[in-house]
Amino acid sequence: MSAARRGLLLVAWIAVVAALGWLVDRTLVVGTDLRLFLPSPRTPQERLVLEEIGEGPASRMLLLTIGGSDPEAAAETSRGLVTELRSSPEFRWAANGESNLDAIPERLLAYRYLLSPTLDGTRFDEAFLRAEFAERLRDLASPAAAFLEPWLPRDPTLELLKLAESWQPGQQPQTQFDVWFDTSGRQALLVAETRAPGFDPQGQRAAIDALQAAFLRVRTEPGLALEASGPGAFSVLMKDRTQQEAQRLGGLATLGMIMLLLVAYRSLRVLVLGLLPLVTAGLAGLAAVSAAFGTVHGITLAFGFTLIGVAQDYPMHLFSHQHRGLDPRDNARALWPTLATGVASTCVAYLAFLFSGVRGLAQLSVFTVTGLAVAGLTTRYLLPWLVPSHGTDVAASGRLARLWGRIAGLPRPTWLGALVALLCVGVLALSPRPLWQDELGGLTPVPRALIERDSTLRRELGAPDVRYLLVIQHRDAQGVLERAAAIDPQLQALVSDGTLVGFDHAARYLPTVEQQLRRRAALPAPPALEAALAAALGATPFRSGAFAPFLADVERARQLPPLEPGDLAGTPLEARVGGLLLERDGHWTGLVTLTGLRDAAALERIAAASEGVALLDLKQASEDLVAHQRERILWCLAGAAVLLVLVVGVALRDTGRVRRVLAPMALTTLLVLASLHVGGVSMNLFHLIALVLAAGLGLDYALFFERAADDPAEQRRTLHAVLVCSLSTLMVFALLALSSLPVLRAIGVTVSVGVVSNFVLALLLTRPPRGGVS
Amino acid sequence: MLVTMPSLATELDTGALLDSLVRPAPDKTLFVEVRHSALLSEPIFVTGELEHRTDGALVRRVESPYRETTELHDENVRVEREGSKPRRFSLDRAPELRGMLASFGALLTGDREALERNFAVTVQGDTEHWRLELSPRDDRLKRRLASIVVDGQQDRPRCLTLSEPDGDASVMALGVGDRAELPESLERASLQAWCSGESGP
């Protein structure tokens, strides 16, 4: 091929890559919802668990503190911030302890008589009203007079105040300057619920940004600082950290890789050519995911590029085997059966994730399979046209020859392999510690100090427990409210005896229709109420006509249809009730959130005694889900392993060869599992993905060593190629292993150990036992 | 000092007047408080005792016709009424209380700066019969409180009147332990006259 045509091909290739890049850039939507990596729910119960974890009120709740300066300034800022957040589209509601009667809309005011429990035990008769008016007289002579007086004509029994107080959380922090403060009295406390679910770091990021901007607008003193805690704040923090660290390590790794390639091939051109298949693979993978799923998850992106890093090895094999006198196209053709076997079997392994039932993993699978296939095919069919045919023959290197000689001389006790395998299986089977980590939180662990601060704030604010919930199921909303109202006294008893600090459910805000009707029926008709009022006021200094608005409101309440969940839209109660009473597919679910629970068994008893009520342990339930997810992935992987053996078997057609190629990979997988376990690491999903990656690498190494079995020059070229491949991979993953972030560390350690073990074992185990020719 | 020449009415100086009103804690004063309201056909009154404690708290103790204790400490209010559970709330729910506390505390400690931060201060009259009027500066407070007026003679405050924008008011006669010391009619005009010393003892 002439230089001009080569140049044309190169330009065309780069143009295709650029076009792919443009396409991907235009169509790719990067999602950040972490639930994409959680198992898909199979039952309504599991769906509830996942929704509660990712979307429930507890997951959206941000606990805020304002402090660092004068408490009064903090209180002033807290008031300003709540006002800002209430009008912010990022937040559903915000509270700081201020009770604001004016916040109740006019059209709901008359409902106070149907919502307040006053009428359950009493009637608006002369005796009741007389006692109430006597109290109001005392109120008027008290310093609170100016506050209460404007409400008295329409609400002399103070139902609104009773309602506002009953809607406050069971246990409240202390108030100072009318807003919540922590026990030290220095930091104002607030709660805000974001509109974005807790598992959506992007939405949470927007909420946190809006929060900070609002804070800066209303801050009354420059010394004040705002802190946010809660699942959403943590997911933002962890995402930022992971991204920063991944970028830093990624940059270092790229630099190291370039140096290594320059040292190994001493050619800038080879360096650039070596990157082309990888870049093409990445972009093709992205385009495929984008076409298949619409969006691609940020983790898929980060992981995917780590996984298809293997594709960097493909051109290496071509380069290392290239020498003067060999047409690069012949070179590629000769390497192809081995390379294709490696690519195909790795793709088969990743294909397993497509059937894992986890959307994020399915994306990852499409991405890697497409990427690896494209990298393999471009290395075979495009790259050889561009590779210079005169490259130095690495087989001529004296150092490499001596190294090979020494390796060949090493004893290869196959019984040791069997022993190691047995030992590993023994360690794994006999250890009392669980092999796997089932905690969802284990995937994105938050620093201990932040967790502790969060639980302190949670306690002070009386915010609901994130672990236990009572779940009430019924086919209609009224049934749910009825059951919630029915267990209310038992929960109240638990609060009284200290088992529970507080609880919350929808019926606290919205009584059942039946109860509202009962209360409505208890309201006296105008003549009776007027008579009772006149008699009660008779001997008091109150003006007789002063309470006409009260009569009017009672009469209005007597005509009201009971308040139902749908009527709450646009009121402050909408968000509160909406988080506790959910409708799905014509079925209603009520949640009872719990605060400061000491004894879950007591709730278990309540749940057992009430029909349609269950205690949900989100931690246990999510762990079950994770365990189930893992089981399914393991089955998929087992299936993939069988397929992989078949692929290798078809390619090599010799059981001895198949055994020698597969032995290093299998032994390495066992070795990595055992050493991680002995090292005290509990495995999670990320370890599993990393194990598959390591196995894929091992298979490649073994295939190439096995191929070069009897030709000394080929052996040295293969040694060179595999050395470059494994060193570059080891460098990248050893850097990740140094990361402070558990996710990156998990992958880094697993692959690093895997690469070393695979390299050594492939060298020792893949050649026929009668020994290499030296 | 001014007080040494009681017979001679001298021109008023705000600073000197405020200085003369300083009462170091602990200090106690009896009071009769009269409440005027549009809801009431006639004013109501209670008698009791005001206390300025060393910890800075102000305690208003009603003795008759029922017992009730209101304690103002920092920003928190605690009300204990016979026959019911103690209740707590905070000053923001009752801005007139904050105004009262601020003005009271500042009057009792002679903190003119704090007083003028929250209120526009004007004085009228002479050293013999004076009137100190505090008008709130804050808009939120203005909605609930029109003014605080302290009427007094020489170095002795006689009445503390909190007026609300809607015309309702409470008048606290200080140093008075018995309703009988007040005029027969508790209507505002006659009380006002009593406070400014026109029908004084």
| Residues in chain A whose Cβ is within 8 Å of chain B | 98-99, 135, 137-138, 140-147, 149, 152-153, 175-178, 541-543, 546
Per the CB < 8 Å rule, is A137 touching B44?
A: yes
Per-residue tokens: A222: 């420059």
Mutate to test the interface with A, among B66, B92, B138, B145 (most CBs of A within 10 A): B92
Q: Nearest CA to CA, how far is A177 from chain B (Å)?
A: 6
Domain boundary among A327, A360, A392: A392
Distance CA A135, CA A354 (A): 71
The residue length of chain B stands at 201
Residue B2 within a domain? no
B44 touches chain A (CB under 8 A): yes
Which residues on chain B are in Cβ contact (under 8 Å) with A147? 93-94, 96, 144
Q: What are the DSSP E strand ranges found in A563-612?
A: 581-584, 587-595
- Of A392, A413, A428, which marks where a domain is finished? A392
The beta-carbon neighbor of B94 closest among A99, A140, A144 is A144
Show residues of chain A in contact with B35, CB under 8 Å: 140-141, 145
Count the neighbouring beta carbons within 10 Å of the beta carbon of residue A29: 9
Using CA atoms in the order A715, A718, A719, A725, what is the torsion angle rounded to 10 degrees? -170
Q: Which residues contact A343 (CB under 8 A, 6 or more apart)?
A: A314, A372, A373, A375, A376
Contacts of A138 in chain B (CB under 8 A): 66, 68, 81
Cα A331 from Cα A314, distance rounded (Å) = 13
Do the Cβ atoms of B44 and A141 come within 8 Å?
A: yes
Q: Is B89 in the A-facing interface, judged by CB distances under 8 Å? A: yes
Contact assignment for B68 to A98 by CB distance below 8 Å: no
Rounded to a whole number of angstroms, the distance from the CA of B43 to the nearest CA of chain A is 8
pLDDT of residue A100: 58
- Torsion sign across C-alpha atoms A241, A243, A248, A250: positive
Would you tell me which residues 2-41 of chain B have a C-beta closer than 8 angstroms to some C-beta of chain A? 33, 35, 37-41
Quick one: closest CA in A to B142, which residue? A146
Query: Model ipTM?
Result: 0.88
- Picking from B66, B76, B144, the nearest residue to A146 by CB comes out as B144
**Residue of A38, A637, A690, A628 lying closest to A359 (CA atoms):** A38
DSSP A66: E
CA distances from A463 to A50, A558, B80, B131 (A): 20, 36, 29, 51
Residue to mutate among A82, A98, A100, A149, with most B CBs inside 10 A, is A149
Alpha-carbon span A52 to A40, nearest angstrom: 14
Q: Has residue A120 been placed in a domain?
A: no
Q: What is the pLDDT of residue B200?
A: 46
Cα of B68 to nearest chain A Cα, Å: 9
Q: At what angle do helices A618-652 and A685-707 cross, to 10 degrees?
A: 10
SS3 call for B35: strand
How many Cα atoms are found within 13 Å in the side-chain-facing hemisphere of A337? 10
Question: Does A254 reside within a domain?
Answer: no
Report the candidate in A153, A149, A157 with the shortest Cα–Cα distance to residue B36: A149
CB contact under 8 A, A178 and B44: no
Per the CB < 8 A criterion, the answer to whether A389 and A323 are in contact is: no
Closest chain B residue to A165, measured at CA: B89
B171 interfacial to chain A (CB closer than 8 Å): no
Contact B76 A149 (CB under 8 A): no
Answer whether residue B200 is part of any domain: no
Kindly report the pTM of this predicted structure. 0.70
Residue of A nearest to B169 (CA): A146
Contact B75 A176 (CB under 8 A): yes
Contacting residues of B for A103, CB less than 8 Å apart: none
Distance of CA A276 to the CA centre of its chain: 34
Asked if residue A712 lies in contact with residue A211, where contact means CB atoms within 8 angstroms, the answer is no
Determine the Cα–Cα distance for residues A479 and A467; give it in Å rounded to an integer: 25
The reply to whether B170 touches chain A by the CB within 8 Å rule is yes
Residues on chain B touching A541 (C-beta within 8 angstroms):
40-44
Q: Which domain holds residue A669?
A: 654-774
For residue A388, whether the previous peptide bond is cis, meaning omega lies within 30 degrees of 0, is no
Task: List Cβ neighbours of A42 (8 Å cut-off, separation of 6 or more).
Answer: none
- Angle between the N-to-C axes of helices A201-218 and A71-86, in degrees from 0 to 180, rounded to the nearest 10: 130
Per the domain annotation, does A498 fall within a domain?
Answer: no
Residue from the list B39, B90, B97 with its beta carbon closest to the beta carbon of A546: B39
Q: How far apart are CA A297 and CA A245, in angstroms?
A: 18
Domain that holds residue B129: 12-194
Q: How many domains does chain A have?
A: 2
Name the stretches of chain B with pLDDT < 50: 1-8, 200-201
Measured between CA atoms, how close is A76 to chain B, in angstroms? 11
Residue B142 belongs to a domain:
yes
CA distance A185 to chain B (A): 12
Domain of residue A288, CATH code: 1.20.1640.10
Cβ <8 Å between B77 and A143: yes
> Quick check: bond before B26 cis, omega within 30?
yes
Bridge partners of residue B120, in order along the sequence: B135
- Cβ of A141 within 8 Å of Cβ of B45? The answer is yes
Answer positive or negative: Cα dihedral of A690, A693, A699, A700: negative
Please indicate, yes or no, if residue A435 is contained in any of the structural domains: no
Encode A501-533: b = buried (16+ Cβ within 10 Å), e = exposed: bbbbbbbbbbbbbebbeebbebbbeeeebeebb
Tell whether B81 is within 8 A of chain A (Cβ).
Answer: yes
Q: Is B60 in contact with A177 (Cβ distance < 8 A)?
A: no
CB-nearest to B37 from A140, A142, A178 is: A140
Contact between A460 and A709 under an 8 Å Cβ cutoff? The reply is no
* Long-range contacts formed by A258-266: CB under 8 A, 24+ apart: A260/A724, A260/A727, A260/A728, A260/A731, A261/A724, A261/A728, A264/A720, A264/A724, A265/A319, A265/A391, A266/A392
Q: Which residues of chain A does B68 touch, with a Cβ-Cβ cutoff of 8 Å?
A: 138, 142
Q: Which two tokens stand for residue A727?
A: 């060193």
Give the SS3 label for residue A223.
Answer: coil
Q: What is the DSSP string of A320-380?
A: HH--TT--HHHHHHHHHHHHHHHHHHHHHHHHGGGGSS-HHHHHHHHHHHHHHHHHHHHHH
Q: How many domains does chain B have?
A: 1
What is the radius of gyration, based on Cα positions, of chain B?
16
Cβ neighbours of residue A71 closer than 8 Å, sequence gap 6 or more: A176, A177, A181, A185, A186, A188
Residues in chain A with pLDDT values less than 50: 771-774
d(CA A117, CA A460): 28
Q: Does B73 touch chain A (CB under 8 A)?
A: no
Calculate how close chain A gets to B19, using CA atoms only, in Å: 27
Chain B's closest residue to A147, CA to CA, is B94
**Domain presence at residue B185:** yes
Please answer whether residues A562 and A113 qualify as being in contact, where contact means their C-beta atoms are separated by less than 8 angstroms.
Answer: no
Question: Has residue A772 been placed in a domain?
Answer: yes
Report yes or no: A262 and A268 within 8 Å, Cβ to Cβ: yes
Helices (H), chain B: 14-21, 95-109, 112-118, 139-144, 188-195
Which domain CATH number covers B143? 2.50.20.10
Instruction: Give chain A positions within 8 Å (CB) of B78.
Output: none
Residue A386 C-beta-side C-alpha neighbours within 13 Å? 24
Provide the token pair at B135: 């008008």
Can you tell me the distance from the alpha carbon of A292 to that of A287, in angstroms, rounded to the nearest whole number? Answer: 9
Is the CB of A142 less than 8 angstroms away from the CB of B45?
Answer: no
Q: Tell me the nearest-neighbour CA distance from B9 into chain A, angstroms.
A: 35
Please tell me the distance in Å from A94's CA to the nearest CA on chain B.
Answer: 19
Q: With an 8 Å Cβ cutoff, is B160 touching chain A?
A: no
